Structure 1
Amino acid sequence: MVKIAAISGYKPYELGIFKQDHPAVTYIKKAIKEQLLALLEDGLQWVIISGQLGTELWAAEVVYELREQEYDYLQLAVITPFLEQENSWSEQNKEWYESILLEADFIDSVSRKPYEKPWQFRLKNQFFVQKSDVLILFYDAEKEGSPKYLYDTAIRYQEQQDYEIRLIQFDDLQFLVEQDQWE
């Protein structure tokens, strides 16, 4: 039984996405939704994200959509790697982030201080895999980026624990695009 799913992946700039209405966002959210729907059938109750721009905030939007439809029990936790992670973000990104936090069921930080050093990200990655039953990660080894570190942490954890990693890759998005074109 899967109770808690951690979700992460690429940040928008890693994908060349600079606007919320970029067509790729629709397919990324659709891929996340498919993963969540399958897990909801298996008892999913919580989704945890660290509140990073891109995949994680899109995932939060999907969670909120699912709650409005029929999964009102689905809860979202935003657990940041450190305090005030949004300080250097643009005003628009801060507003997006704040809108996500408004509906979150739980908000906390792994390190209860502002950013100091990269160890805070490593600690967050360890926390995420240890506190979840499954990791949904938008990551493709063909295009390295920030998700690689969480992926590597999850793989190491999987070597010692029964832990599921579900990757969303570019081929999956391409399939969704082609599926849409057929319909």
Structure 2
Amino acid sequence: MNRMWITGFRDYELGIFNNKDPKLTVINYALNKILTNAINDGCEWLITGGQLGVEQWAIEQALQLKETTFPEFKIAMMTPFIDFGKNWKENKQIKLNALKEGVDFNSSVLNTTYKNPQQLKDYQNFMLAHTEHAVSFYDTEVSNSRAKFEYNAMQFHAKSHEYPVSLLDFERLQEYADEYQLEINDY
């Protein structure tokens, strides 16, 4: 079984506050390409969390691909703890719950409420143990992103395990933007 973890920037870290932001069009294009290539290479599952931003956008793209092209593809949302998202605004909680209902499997890694940061490390360890490769939408030039914790955990894990980690940084995202623009111009 081939399972992939996609994670990265939160929406607010990228300054994306609605679904009409042109940056999101390029991010979704990139995620769609990444998922399509992974599925064509034998990936059977996307396993990710429900964080605002890249994780939720990856689930949305995976659901779209499952509906249109790859019905056999499976999606799991694994949140770190049971009350994940409870402090979010109502519209964000509604979206999280809708995504939970849309995926093939959803659960919390820890069957407790949030108590301490160790739970997030336990979550990372779970994700690393239950996936064979990862994509991190993160740029190492950005030091104040929460995405760096997952990326660092992936890199550390990859040192002692066969665990490929693909980095989708701003330079690579620009390449996707250029590719997207070429596709639009071809129509």
* TM-score range relative to shorter protein: over 0.9
**1:58 matched residue in structure 2:** 57
CA contact (8 A) 1:4 1:132 kept: yes
1:51-95 Cα offsets, whole Å, 9 max, x none, are 111100000000011011120011111111101111100011111
Residue of structure 1 equivalent to 2:16: 17
TM-score by length of 2: 0.93
CA drift of 1:22 comes to 1.1
Count of matched residue pairs: 182
- Superposition pairs of residues 1-183 of structure 1, within 5 angstroms: 3-144=2-143, 145-182=145-182, 183=185
TM-score (norm 1): 0.95
Q: Which letter does structure 1 place at the counterpart of 2:177?
A: V
> 2-side partners of 1:30 and 1:95: how far apart?
24
Instruction: Give the letter for the 1:57 counterpart.
Output: Q
Q: 1:50 to 1:70 in 2, by over 3 A?
A: same
Contact 2:29 2:180 in 1 (8 A): no
User: What is the identity percentage for the equivalent residue pairs of Structure 1 and Structure 2?
Assistant: 29
Q: Which amino acid aligns with 1:175?
A: E
Given that 1:31 and 1:172 are in contact with CA atoms closer than 8 Å, whether structure 2 keeps it comes out as no
State the SS of the aligned residue for 1:159: helix
CA distance in 2, matches of 1:69, 1:114: 36
CA contact (8 A) 2:138 2:148 kept: yes
Structure 1 residue ranges without an equivalent (≥5): none
How has the CA–CA distance of structure 1 residues 33 and 181 changed in structure 2, closer, same or farther, with 3 Å as cutoff?
Answer: closer
